[in-house]
Structure 1
C-alpha cells in the first residue's frame, strides 16, 4: 500500500505546498516529484501501466507549471485543488473508458501473476477505479463550488482534499479482502 501511495506523492505535495498566493512552487514540486518517481519506477523495471497516476501527474503538472510562470495571476490559480481532482477524475474515468482501470498496474505489484487474467481481478479493479473516479469527481465539484463561493473556507477545502484520498484509499484496502473472503468461503457456508 505504501508503494502504491508513492504515485500520489506529486498530488499530495502540490496540495500541501500550493497556496492561493504562490501556486508556482507547488506546480514545480509536483512536476519534479512526478518525473522523479517515473525515473525511479522505470529503473526498477515498472511497466507504463503500473505508472498511470505518475504519468498523469507529469502530464498535469507540466502545463500547470508553465501557466503558473507565464501567467501567475491566471484565473485558474484559485481553482488549483479543483483542477487536480478534475484531472484525476479524468484519469480514472478515461482508464475505464479504454478498459484499462488505472488500478490494474498498481494491483499487479502485489498480486500473483496467475490472478491477473481472471475476470474477478479485472472486476475488482473496475470497481476500485470507479470509487476513485467518483471520489475525485465529487471532490472536483465540491472544491470548485467552495473555492468560488467561499474562497476562505480553508478547513472545508482541506477536509474535501483529505476525504477525496482517504475514502477511496480505505476502500482500496478493504474491498479486495472482502471479495477474496466471499470467494474463498467453503461451499454451502453462509454468513
Structure 2
C-alpha cells in the first residue's frame, strides 16, 4: 500500500475520468493536496516529494483545461498524457538526484540506512523501472487511442503499468541486499554514500 499511496490521485482520476473529466481532475488535485499536507504534518521532508508535487502540477493544469475547454481534443489522450507526465516526473526525479522511490522507501527503512550506497542504488533501480513502465505505457496508450484499438487494450496497458513495477519493487530490494551481502562475505558493512 505504501507505493500506491503516492499514486492515489492518479488512481482516483482514472476511476472517475470516464464519467467526468472535469470532476476527476479536481478530485485528483484535492486528493493530492490532502496527501501532501498529511505528509508535511507528519514531518516528512518536501525535498523528496517529487511525485507529489509533479502530480499537483499535472492535475492543476488538467483541471483548468477540463473546466475551460471541456471539449478539448486532448481528453481522448488523457491516459497517454497521464502516463507521459508520470514518465517525465520519474525520469526527472533521477536527473535531480531525488529518485521518487526514496520518499516511499524511507517510510519503511530505518534512518541509519538512508544514506548508504546500497539503499540509494536500490532506489535508483526501482525508480528507473517505474519510469520505463510509464514511458512504455504512454506510447502504448497513445497508439491504442490513435488507432481506436478499444477499451480492453487501454485497460490492459493501464493495469500492467502498475502491476509490473509493483511486482519488481516487491522482489528486487531483497535480491539486491542478498547479492551485496554475498559480495561482502556475509558482513553487513554498508559504505555510506554522498548525500542525495
TM over 0.5: yes
* Alignment partners' CA distance in 1, 2:95 and 2:49: 18
Give the CA RMSD over aligned residues: 1.6
Aligned residues: 185
CA distance in 1, matches of 2:159, 2:16: 15
CA–CA separation in structure 1 for the residues paired with 2:47 and 2:140:
30
Deviation of the 1:163 alpha carbon: 0.6
> What residue in structure 1 maps to residue 151 of structure 2?
154
Task: Give, in angstroms, the shift of residue 120 of structure 1.
Answer: 1.4
Unaligned 5+ segments in structure 2 are 187-196
**Superposition deviation, residue 170 in structure 1:** 1.1
TM-score (normalised: structure 2): 0.89
Which of 43-52 and 133-142 deviates more? 43-52
Unaligned stretches of 5+ residues in structure 1: none
**Mapped pair 1:14 → 2:13:** yes
Partner Cα separation in structure 1 for residue 146 and residue 24 of structure 2: 21
Contact preservation (8 Å) 2:50, 2:98: no
* Correspondence for 1:34 among 32, 35, 39: 32
Question: How far is the alpha carbon of 1:161 from its aligned partner?
Answer: 0.6
In 2, Cα distance between equivalents of 1:91 and 1:68: 21
| 1:70-85 mapped onto 2 (5 Å cutoff) | 70-85=68-83
Q: Which residue of 2 aligns with 1:56?
A: 54
- Report the Cα distance in structure 2 between the residues aligned to 1:72 and 1:103, rounded to whole angstroms: 34
1:50-81 CA distance string (max 9 Å, x none): 43222211111001000001000111110001
